[in-house]
Structure 1
Amino acid sequence: MAHDVSHQSLRVAARLANGFALDLVKLGGFGRDVVDGLLLAAISQANVAQITRNPELQRRYATLDQPPPDEMRRPVSISAIANSLRMPFETARRRIAVLAEQGVIVTHPRGVVVPTAPLNSPFYRVGAAAHYELVKNLYFRLRGIGLLEDLPQPSPDAPPFDPENPPVRLVIRLSSDYVLRLAEPIGQYIGDLVTGLVLMDLIHANTEHLPDTEGGRDGETWEPQAFVPDKHRMPVRPATLAGRLGIPHETIRRHLARLVADDRCERNEHGYVVTARILARGPFILYMTDNRSHLQRLFTQLSEYGVLSEWERQVRALRGAA
């Protein structure tokens, strides 16, 4: 049973998770925009779902040097991916066609697959190593705010991982599942994937400068005055968001206009900001509370595979060396 966590810590955890998810989506896009990054994550996860659900296969294909072979990747239909992301079918079809032309995706009669080759390229391996470090960094930051106190210990039968050949692919599969679960409310609340990603990055840009100790007032309240004061939020301009997301400037302006019209962000002379008044609404609060469950699930799995104990051992070794 998870221990009680303050609303302040839940707000900080949601802020960290939001930035983390965006970083992973940007890394996974093979140099393209965040929409393609999320699309590729959804396709790749669907292709290897049978591995993610099987502990033996998870360990067999855990490291960078052990990618699952093509024959283990199951095609997924474009319509299934579009539905899972609440993306218009034609948008998904058009983007997947471009990715197929570039060799990132292979099409089959039964659907599409991200094959082994691009997932074993030097470009991918660099991004995969960065992905692994982002998950590790998130773990220690969440530990720092007291969020992960009741994780299970690894099974005594679980073989240890070689620290020289860490389980990068296993961590990527589990954390990508987490990112896709985190993205689900976008379609439910916003109704448009791109608008939702713009909103996520706007919130991130407003608050990424804040320390992990700043989560607003402590206590058991979700009232706007309990959140980080708006004077501490940094407004952001459309051009900045366009650069961060890899989305054309005019597209960003159009989605920001929609968010303002829907009262999901405010515009002032310095740029755009999602204020405490907006963040204190039910859908955002549900996002924050659900996020805790999603994080607990992710790091419980990583603990059971022995990943977290290895990370903790490395930290203890560094402290001992110091």
Structure 2
Amino acid sequence: MNGRLPPSRIRLAGRLANGFALDLVKLGGWGRDVIDGLLLMAISQANIAPITRSPELQLAYATLDAPPPDELRRPVSVNAVATSLRIPFETARRRIAALAELGVLETSRKGVVLPQAPLNSPFYRAFAEANCELVRRYYERLDRLGFLTGLNRPDTSFTPGNPPLRLIMRLSSDYALRLAEPVSAYIGDLVTGMILMDVIQANTEHLPDDEGGGDDLSPQSYLADDERRPVRPATLSERLGVPPETVRRHLNRLVSDGRCVAGEDGYVVPARVLADGGFVEFILDNQTHMHRLFTGLAEFGVLSFWDAPRAGLRGAA
């Protein structure tokens, strides 16, 4: 993903990244909705900032058997979380209070913390394994399509019996959170942006991985609108974990803004919207963030860890 890609590759990378980002956020909510998923990611990443800034600590607390101690976690204010995600303070406050009542978060005058106990539970471990598998599958798709050439991949120190699941969670969460700013900048509202992203995903997820359209950025080079599969509000509600009335309200806004078209079978984001300069810049920003994610995974030896079994199979063949 080095440099500016040709238009067909930009669209292809954008479509794959869109689906991956949505899956990450949905998974990050631990079974709750996408906004809670982003809140938990933002709080956790802010808590462990001393670790993410230190390559040595990243590796020291890379595996499930090495959870960061609570003394390394730094509380974060509700206002800082709301500002980082560009969501209303009251929305963040109310949702954080609900998560604290469930025992997921701890709140004090110093701020909010996602403590070690939930992050060491069997429930969390299952989600960490699912997150790792999601990132690994996405890596293999990008690698197969030639998006990750030129990355330095040092030998890994990880073993199959103790994979770097916490490290992968931290790096992938950092990527997902970096999407909040361009989504909000392009749409003006994070929830509306997530719904728009999922409409786009539902419209195009039937396409093969190598379908990127034509070689320019005009609407005519995109998938024709009648080939996009419409999606109903009830389906979006189920996919995102967002109440149906909330989905319908944001869809109405998208239709009013001209970013979405409503039909008898559901909603479609048309090619003219995807070809808009602002949306293309959003895709290019995402491309930059994606390259940063996989550069980090490569530098910490995660990619060579994933490559080893495949190399062994090729050697055996």
TM-score bin (small chain): over 0.9
Q: Which residue of 1 aligns with 2:205?
A: 208
| Alignment of 1:223 onto 2:218 | yes
Q: Which residue of 2 aligns with 1:275?
A: 270
SS in 1 for 2:179: helix
| Alignment of 1:164 onto 2:169 | no
Q: Which residue of 2 aligns with 1:53?
A: 53
Question: Following superposition of structure 1 onto structure 2, how do residues 183-262 of structure 1 map, counting pairs within 5 Å?
Answer: 183-217=180-214, 219=215, 221-262=216-257
Pick aligned residue for 1:313 from 287, 304, 308: 308
Aligned 8 A contact 2:183 2:282 in 1: no
Q: CA deviation at 1:251?
A: 1.1
Question: In 2, Cα distance between the equivalents of 1:88 and 1:136?
Answer: 34
Q: CA deviation at 1:3?
A: 5.1
Tell me how many residue pairs correspond in the alignment. 317
Runs of 4 or more above 6 Å deviation: none
Aligned 8 A contact 2:75 2:112 in 1: yes
Q: CA deviation at 1:6?
A: 2.2
Aligned 8 A contact 2:186 2:282 in 1: no
Give the fraction of aligned pairs with identical amino acids, expressed as a percent: 63
Question: In 1, Cα distance between the equivalents of 2:117 and 2:205?
Answer: 35
Q: Which residue of 1 aligns with 2:150?
A: 150
Gaps of at least 5 residues in structure 1 are none
Q: Which residue of 2 aligns with 1:177?
A: 174
Question: In 2, Cα distance between the equivalents of 1:65 and 1:177?
Answer: 21
CA deviations 1:22-67 (Å, max 9, x no partner) are 1111111122111101111111111111111101000000001111
SS in 2 for 1:12: helix
CA deviations 1:200-245 (Å, max 9, x no partner) are 111111111111111111x2x2111111222221100000001111
Question: In 2, Cα distance between the equivalents of 1:120 and 1:6?
Answer: 44
Question: In 2, Cα distance between the equivalents of 1:4 and 1:289?
Answer: 8
Gaps of at least 5 residues in structure 2 are none
CA RMSD of aligned residues (A): 1.5
AA paired with 1:316?
A
Question: In 1, Cα distance between the equivalents of 2:171 and 2:72?
Answer: 17
Question: TM-score, normalising length from structure 1?
Answer: 0.95
| Alignment of 1:70 onto 2:65 | no
| Alignment of 1:21 onto 2:24 | no
Aligned 8 A contact 1:3 1:150 in 2: no
